[in-house]
């Protein structure tokens, strides 16, 4: 019996390894290791990827008289576009898709996503006339992608959106011309931090710029893409609001400007003196989304709070805390920029779960 350790790159955060089924005692011992986790979908265990954790792991394996070996970590990133020599018809289809997306004013992110997924579809049927492909053949392609690449629900939907855009918008086929089977929509509740955790998180950064970034995302309920697009002139301190220009769906809106945040932003401005964007990189221009995520991850780790949280969790927390304080759903919907009230109503389910006024039946029994 041999334990297989998958060799990660330096940037991979967890060290994964496979334990043979018969090594029951070793598995029980692994559970005692700090940060150990079992990935049921991959049938692999993991610990945080550090030199110390790897030494503890190998020492423990050897103490049970079990051998271990290493293998290269399989590439779990999104598969690249296959290296296929596209024919003229396929190239024209991709070009027309790109052109139509630009003409309809889709964002660069959406344009790149649709183009990537559609190109992979075209590569699969490169020898075929795309107009001759039937619904059943498209679903067969999706099935193969799901099985071969363990395609997520999100990726499956992106494939469908890109394919339908080509047939229905580029080629002018009737809407729902290809009524493709979509994955069952999951009904998940947004991740939310408590007010105490938010306070701990925001207090972690010593750098005033980093503190201002986290404070602004939370206090205004911003998406991370909206934050990097905030200009100095969008902070309307006299009127007491923040102007969010061309947010998701190309919609402008106003959101709250905290008085405490205003004080913090003034101190930040005096120190950094940004020229156009509120937050700018070292060489000028917009601050990067990657840098914001790093700031957030570092603060989460230092504060030792929910490791599953993301910068978007701050937006969810903003909405939930407003609802807890009695602000109406309609006002929260406006502040978040939701088109439908149903999107905002998800926060009521979080309150229902945490409602302290409902007494648990077990408490009545005992």
Q: How far apart are alpha carbons 160 and 259 in whole angstroms?
A: 45
What residues have CB less than 8 Å from 198, skipping those under 6 apart?
218, 314, 317, 321
Task: Kindly tell me if the per-residue pLDDT of 75 is higher than 80.
Answer: no
- What CATH class has 195-353? mainly alpha
Known catalytic membership, residue 43: no
Task: Kindly tell me if the per-residue pLDDT of 76 is higher than 50.
Answer: no
Known catalytic membership, residue 347: yes
Q: Of residues 223, 253, 316, 321, which has the active-site annotation? A: 223
Over the stretch 305-332, which tens digit does the pLDDT of each residue have? 988 899 999 999 999 999 999 999 999 9
pLDDT-derived band at 366, boundaries 50, 70, 90: low
Over the stretch 100-154, which tens digit does the pLDDT of each residue have? 999 998 888 889 999 999 999 999 998 899 999 999 999 999 988 888 877 788 8
Q: Whole-model pTM above 0.75?
A: no
Task: Yes or no: say if 244 and 315 are a contact pair by the CB < 8 Å rule.
Answer: no
Estimate the crossing angle of helix 311-324 against helix 195-203, to 10 degrees. Answer: 140
Task: Kindly tell me if the per-residue pLDDT of 356 is higher than 70.
Answer: no
Known catalytic membership, residue 293: no
Task: Yes or no: say if 223 and 315 are a contact pair by the CB < 8 Å rule.
Answer: yes
Q: Of residues 115, 248, 254, 297, which has the active-site annotation? A: 248
**Fold type of domain 2-72:** MutS, DNA mismatch repair protein, domain I (3.40.1170)
| Mean pLDDT for all residues in the chain | 88
Q: Of residues 53, 120, 321, 338, which has the active-site annotation? A: 338
DSSP state of 340: S
Domain range summary for the chain, segments of one domain joined by +: 2-72, 88-170, 195-353
Mean pLDDT over residues 29-33, rounded?
84
Q: Of residues 14, 200, 209, 312, which has the active-site annotation? A: 312
Determine the pLDDT at residue 235.
96
Over the stretch 176-227, which tens digit does the pLDDT of each residue have? 777 888 887 777 788 899 999 999 999 999 999 999 999 999 999 999 999 9
Known catalytic membership, residue 312: yes
Q: Of residues 53, 253, 315, 321, which has the active-site annotation? A: 315
Determine the pLDDT at residue 204.
95
Known catalytic membership, residue 236: no
Where b means 16+ CB within 10 Å and e means fewer, 76-89 reads eeeeeeeeeeeeee
Mean pLDDT over residues 232-246, rounded?
94
Determine the pLDDT at residue 357.
59
- The answer to which of 65-74, 204-213, 260-269 has the lowest mean pLDDT is 65-74
Q: How far apart are alpha carbons 50 and 29 in whole angstroms?
A: 19
Write out the H or E segment, with its range, that includes residue 147.
helix 135-149
- Domain range 88-170, its CATH number among 2.60.120.620, 1.10.150.130, 3.20.20.140, 1.20.140.10: 1.10.150.130
Known catalytic membership, residue 53: no
Determine the pLDDT at residue 83.
67
């Amino acid at each position: 019996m041999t334990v297989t350790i998958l060799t990660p790159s330096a940037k991979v955060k967890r060290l994964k390894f496979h334990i043979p089924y018969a090594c029951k005692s070793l598995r029980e011992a692994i559970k005692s290791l700090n940060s150990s986790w079992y990935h049921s979908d991959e049938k692999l265990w993991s610990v945080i990827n550090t030199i110390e954790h790897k030494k503890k792991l190998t020492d423990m394996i050897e103490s049970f008289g079990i051998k271990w070996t290493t293998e290269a970590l399989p590439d779990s990133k999104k598969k690249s576009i296959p290296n296929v020599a596209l024919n003229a018809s396929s190239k024209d289809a991709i070009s027309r898709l790109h052109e139509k997306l630009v003409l309809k004013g889709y964002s660069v992110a959406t344009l790149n996503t649709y183009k990537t997924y559609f190109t992979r579809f075209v590569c699969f049927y490169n020898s075929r006339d795309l107009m001759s492909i039937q619904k059943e053949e498209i679903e067969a392609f999706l099935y193969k992608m799901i099985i071969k690449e363990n395609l997520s629900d999100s990726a499956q939907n992106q494939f469908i959106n890109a394919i339908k855009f080509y047939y229905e918008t580029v080629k002018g086929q009737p809407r729902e011309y290809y009524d493709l089977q979509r994955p069952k929509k999951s009904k998940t509740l947004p991740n939310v931090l408590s007010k105490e955790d938010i306070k701990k998180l925001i207090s972690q950064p010593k750098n005033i710029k980093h503190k201002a970034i986290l404070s602004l995302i939370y206090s205004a309920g911003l998406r991370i893409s909206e934050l990097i697009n905030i200009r100095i002139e969008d902070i309307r301190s006299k009127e007491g609001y923040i102007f969010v220009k061309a947010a998701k769906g190309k919609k402008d809106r106003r959101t709250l400007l905290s008085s405490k945040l205003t004080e913090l932003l003034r101190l930040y401005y005096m120190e950094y003196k940004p020229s156009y964007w509120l937050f700018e990189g070292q060489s000028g221009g917009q601050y990067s989304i990657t840098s914001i995520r790093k700031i957030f991850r570092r603060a989460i780790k230092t504060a030792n709070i929910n490791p599953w949280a993301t910068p978007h969790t701050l937006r969810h927390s903003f909405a939930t805390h407003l609802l807890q304080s009695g602000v109406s759903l309609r006002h929260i919907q406006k502040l978040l920029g939701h088109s439908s009230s149903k999107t905002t109503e998800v926060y009521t389910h979080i309150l229902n779960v945490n409602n302290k006024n409902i007494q648990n039946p077990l408490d009545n029994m005992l």
